[in-house]
């Protein structure tokens, strides 16, 4: 491990001089830019890395950000993390990550993070019950921890960076409407998570906007479970007047709809159009490939982390500035086509 003393010895300088340069305090001591450049070049050549523990002791700060996520195993959740890591890599902060599932794990993990003196908290897909929500509010407030989130349903003010779910669903319904579909069903996730709630509400708003018959445009919830989604699809498609198109809350659910259509010998897209959301890998592996919406998860993760760092550095809570919504783009593939004309 390369130390300050190694750089000082090689350049025949004092440890005080080298330390001042590496900690950006050399100007106050009258050290020249030429000497500073020599030290920085030598540090890079030798592969010097600053001791974060020592820096924390000097500053009295942990320089640590905590992250809680219940979606690290999901493709979209992993992309959120990649974006957050890209934002933090050129900053003096380190990131401590906790994977959680359910209220009990969320509370314990938050207590662990607070015990390590985090300065900020980034949450992904945390949708607490009222009691846990109050716990997060009181705990982060007591320790003056800045909070940012995506796809969370916290009730207290904090930095929020989200997908524009409403515009995304509206674009999908408009796409199907222009193809002549009038009986359009929605297979949602659950009634708890923020993304699922926003998508189902946006679907109902789109039904109203395009003056579709609500009776012919049902909303069903799968709880993100494949078997439940397939059961709902069978129920919908075996009706006397089944939907001619289905809007799904994500691509995995859309893939389930394709499976049931194949099982019932319904041709997609000739007899049934199916669209999803998130543009995950599964949408490109099905036959036909799934029409979907591309969501910039990495961009969202990066933006949320940068906003959180800004909030920490300014020592100001930025919870009342509204939601930073990131636009999505529709990706038209082979699973959607013109509706069959009714005789």
Residues 277 and 171 in one domain: yes
Strands, sheet with 219-221, edge to edge from the N-terminal-most edge strand: 219-221, 184-188, 245-248, 273-275
Q: Is 283 within 8 Å of 290 (Cβ atoms)?
A: yes
- What angle is formed at CA 16 by the lines to CA 14 and CA 17, rounded to 5 degrees? 70
Q: In this predicted model, what pLDDT tens digit does every residue of 95-123 receive, in sequence order?
A: 999 999 999 999 999 999 999 899 999 99
Query: What's the whole-number mean pLDDT along residues 212-233?
Result: 97
Residues 32 and 84 in one domain: no
CA distance 73 to 66: 18
Amino acid 3: pLDDT: 85
337 within some domain: no
Amino acid 54: pLDDT: 58
Domain residue limits at 41: 4-50
Residues 199 and 308 in one domain: no
Residues 276 and 217 in one domain: yes
DSSP element (H, E) containing 314: helix 297-314
Give the other-Cβ count within 10 Å of 229's Cβ.
28
332 within some domain: no
Q: Residue 28 maps to which CATH number?
A: 1.10.260
Amino acid 95: pLDDT: 95
Residues 302 and 289 in one domain: no
Amino acid 321: pLDDT: 57
Residues 155 and 212 in one domain: no
Residue 318 has pLDDT above 60, yes or no: no
Amino acid 170: pLDDT: 98
Contacts of 150 (CB under 8 A, 6+ apart): 80, 123, 124, 125, 160, 161, 162, 163, 300, 301, 304
How many separate domains does the chain show?
A: 3
281 within some domain: yes
CA distance 44 to 37: 11
Residues 75 and 182 in one domain: no
Amino acid 180: pLDDT: 97
Q: Is 313 within 8 Å of 306 (Cβ atoms)?
A: no
Amino acid 81: pLDDT: 97
Residues 315 and 170 in one domain: no
343 within some domain: no
Helix residue ranges per DSSP H, 1-102? 4-11, 15-22, 33-46, 52-59, 75-88
26 within some domain: yes
Residues 272 and 231 in one domain: yes
Residue 211 has pLDDT above 90, yes or no: yes
Q: Which of 78, 126, 66 is nearest to 101 (CA)?
A: 126
Q: In this predicted model, what pLDDT tens digit does every residue of 44-65 receive, in sequence order?
A: 898 887 765 555 555 567 789 9
More confident residue, 62 or 186: 186
Residues 154 and 302 in one domain: yes
291 within some domain: yes
Secondary structure (3-state) at 27:
helix
Residues 276 and 181 in one domain: yes
Q: Which of 112-116, 142-146, 282-286 has the highest mean predicted lDDT (pLDDT)?
A: 282-286
More confident residue, 68 or 51: 68
Q: Residue 196 maps to which CATH number?
A: 3.40.50.2300
Amino acid 343: pLDDT: 43
336 within some domain: no
Residues 272 and 194 in one domain: yes
146 within some domain: yes
Q: Is 310 within 8 Å of 336 (Cβ atoms)?
A: no
Amino acid 62: pLDDT: 79
Q: Give the chain's mean pLDDT.
A: 92
Amino acid 314: pLDDT: 85
Q: What is the DSSP string of 159-205?
A: EEEEE-HHHHHHHHHHHHHHTT---EEEEE--SSSHHHHHHHHHHHH
Secondary structure (3-state) at 45:
helix
């Amino acid at each position: 491990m390369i130390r300050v003393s190694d750089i000082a010895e090689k350049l025949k300088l004092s440890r005080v001089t080298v330390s001042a340069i590496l900690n950006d305090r050399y100007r106050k001591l009258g050290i020249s830019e030429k000497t500073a450049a020599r030290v920085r070049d030598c540090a890079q050549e030798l592969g010097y890395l600053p001791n974060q523990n020592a820096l924390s002791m000097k500053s009295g700060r942990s320089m640590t950000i905590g992250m809680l996520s219940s979606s690290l195993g999901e493709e979209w959740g992993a992309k959120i993390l990649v974006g957050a890591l890209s934002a933090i890599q050129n900053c003096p902060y380190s990131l401590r990550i906790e994977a959680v599932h359910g209220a009990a794990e969320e509370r314990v993990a938050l207590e662990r993070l607070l015990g390590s003196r985090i300065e900020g908290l980034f949450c992904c897909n945390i949708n607490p019950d009222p009691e846990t929500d109050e716990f997060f509010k009181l705990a982060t407030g007591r320790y003056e921890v800045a909070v940012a989130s995506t796809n969370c349903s916290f009730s207290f003010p904090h930095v929020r960076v989200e997908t524009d779910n409403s515009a995304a669903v509206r674009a999908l319904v408009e796409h199907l409407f222009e193809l002549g579909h009038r009986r359009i069903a929605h297979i949602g996730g659950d009634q708890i998570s923020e993304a699922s709630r926003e998508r189902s509400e946006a679907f109902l708003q789109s039904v109203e906007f395009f003056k579709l018959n609500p009776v012919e445009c049902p909303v069903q919830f799968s709880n993100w479970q494949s078997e439940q989604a397939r059961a709902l699809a069978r129920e919908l498609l075996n009706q006397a007047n089944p939907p001619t198109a289905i809007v799904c809350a994500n691509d995995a659910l859309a893939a389930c709809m394709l499976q049931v259509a194949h099982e019932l010998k319904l041709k997609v897209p000739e007899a049934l159009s199916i669209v999803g959301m998130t543009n995950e890998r599964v949408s490109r592996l099905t036959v036909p490939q799934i029409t979907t919406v591309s969501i910039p998860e990495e961009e969202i993760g990066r933006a949320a982390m940068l906003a959180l760092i800004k909030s920490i550095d300014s020592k100001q809570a930025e919870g009342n500035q509204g939601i930073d919504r990131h636009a999505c783009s529709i990706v038209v593939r082979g699973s959607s086509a013109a509706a069959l004309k009714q005789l």
